Amino acid sequence: MNEYNYNFEEVGGGYYNSEENPSPKKPKKHTGLKIAASLVAMTLVSAGSIGVYRTVTEGRNADTAAESSRISAEKEEAAVNKEVSSVEKETSAVESMTMLHVEDNNGEVLTTEEVVQKVMPSVVGIKSEFEIPQQNNYNYGNGFGGFGGFGDFFGFGDEFGYGYGDGSQIQQENPVGTGTGVIISEDGYIVTNAHVIYDSQNGLGLAVEIEVLAGDDTHTAEVIGYDVDCDLAVLKIEAEGLTAAEFGDSDKLNLGEDVTAIGNPLGLDLMNTVTKGIVSGLNRNVTINDKSMSLIQTDTAINEGNSGGPLINKYGQVIGINSSKMSSSGFGEASVEGICFAIPSNKVSDVVEDFMAYGYIKGKPQLGISCRDVTEDISEMYDMPLGVYVIEVTEGSAAEKAGLKKSDIITAVDGVKVKTATELTAQKNLHTAGDEIELTFMRNGEEMTVKLTLDETEAPVQETPTETN
């Protein structure tokens, strides 16, 4: 256990965490749902060969300088992508927001066939290519097996090989993920899950190329906005005359109500697969990758590749965006069936409007720190209090203005104890930018308190190997 030497950047294989932007972490025991047992785990339902990268990089220390360079490049690219280039684009955004306004759930009840006929033209396939950071001390094999296997989450084939190299040129293919999207405007705006286009589990970040398959046509997509906390993204393709989906009011859903899903399970080979079920639960508080969300539960079959696709009510309205499911957490454990989740349409509508208008979620609070959990093991080993260890304070941030410093350990927010970055984020997210909060922290063995005014996040949240707040 000599890896813990107060240099928290090196704890856990070279990654450290922050409240807003969780990073690749070592597998850990967790409950997924707050109410779930260790029997099951939450998985995001995107498909592809991204998992191959995770397999070959377990236990590898990140190159901090290279990572910083990559993150900076991504930020620049995201900033360019979100720029409003003309008045025409601004007008289009307003029209698209109008298209996404939810309608009353009191229309004509449709048969399943009619529901599918109405919504199918609005469903697209999404293919995202991610770039593997160059590493000089690894030499990977050439082959990615693709997706499509059952059992493994990403289902890659046996031809993939890897090993420690001798410093020679890396031979590798960029991993690819697939998902689903929903057209929200006739001129090419599309909503999907953020994890379809942004990989945080492996630290690959924003996809370098995104393609959308709409009907028989394939288009290159632009990222308008995305947020990993709410797991939503808006893309734009250059197309006209598309069929925009009608969105319903998710607040008017009833338990037991019939719902239908359309998506691309296990990849685009099974594109436009239709499954049917009921609303199994409402306002479920679910934790996925350390992010807490309030979701619709359904027993509608949702599989890898369905991410970003529509959950549809009996009126042919989209009332949710499918995002995740419960699954077995280990070999030999009982299987888990029919526990899937979707982001409510009312939440989607609010987020999309902000993406269209600003490129990010307006009013989202930010502290301005990078941090790391002080676990029980670390606490006992170094006689440190349980809490959130501050690794870095962003210059000019709310945290710096309030006097927070590197190595402070945050233990409470507004009197509520916090032991992890996730708990810190949850307390912070009860507020909006401009609110004042009180932080309790330890510095050199002394407990201190400070009040600070939360900043607003002014750019799409960048999920990196650091957790930033």
Q: Can you give the pLDDT at residue 171?
A: 53
Q: Are 286 and 324 spatial neighbours (Cβ–Cβ below 8 Å)?
A: yes
Q: Can you give the pLDDT at residue 456?
A: 84
Q: Can you give the pLDDT at residue 5?
A: 27
DSSP-derived secondary structure for 152-202: SSS---TT--EEE--SPPP-----EEEEEEEE-STTSEEEE-HHHHEE-SS
Strand 40-44 to strand 318-328: parallel, antiparallel, or no bridges (unpaired)? Answer: antiparallel
Please report, for the chain, the start and end positions of each structural domain, with discontinuous segments joined by +.
8-19+367-468, 43-361
d(CA 65, CA 134): 12
Q: Can you give the pLDDT at residue 50?
A: 59
Q: Can you give the pLDDT at residue 193?
A: 96
Closest C-alpha among 410, 401, 413, 417 to residue 441: 410
Q: Can you give the pLDDT at residue 401?
A: 93
With 0-12 CB in 10 A as exposed, 13-18 as middle and 19+ as buried, what is 89? Answer: middle
DSSP 363: T
Closest C-alpha among 250, 100, 103, 114 to residue 183: 100
SS3 336: coil
Q: Can you give the pLDDT at residue 135?
A: 57
SS3 238: coil
Going along 329-419, which residue ranges are E strands?
Answer: 340-344, 365-366, 369-374, 387-393, 409-413, 416-417
SS3 270: helix
The domain made up of 43-361 has a fold known as: Thrombin, subunit H (2.40.10)
Residues 415-434: tens digit of each pLDDT: 999 998 888 988 888 888 89
Chain-centre distance for alpha carbon 234: 13
Q: Can you give the pLDDT at residue 103?
A: 60
Residues 309-334: tens digit of each pLDDT: 999 999 999 999 999 988 765 555 66
Q: Which residues of the chain have pLDDT under 70?
A: 1-42, 46-106, 134-172, 290, 328-334, 458-469
Residues taking part in catalysis: 195, 231, 307
Residues 340-396: tens digit of each pLDDT: 999 999 999 999 999 998 888 888 888 989 888 999 999 999 889 999 999 999 999
Chain-centre distance for alpha carbon 159: 29
The domain made up of 8-19+367-468 has a fold known as: Pdz3 Domain (2.30.42)
d(CA 228, CA 231): 5
Specify the pTM: 0.67
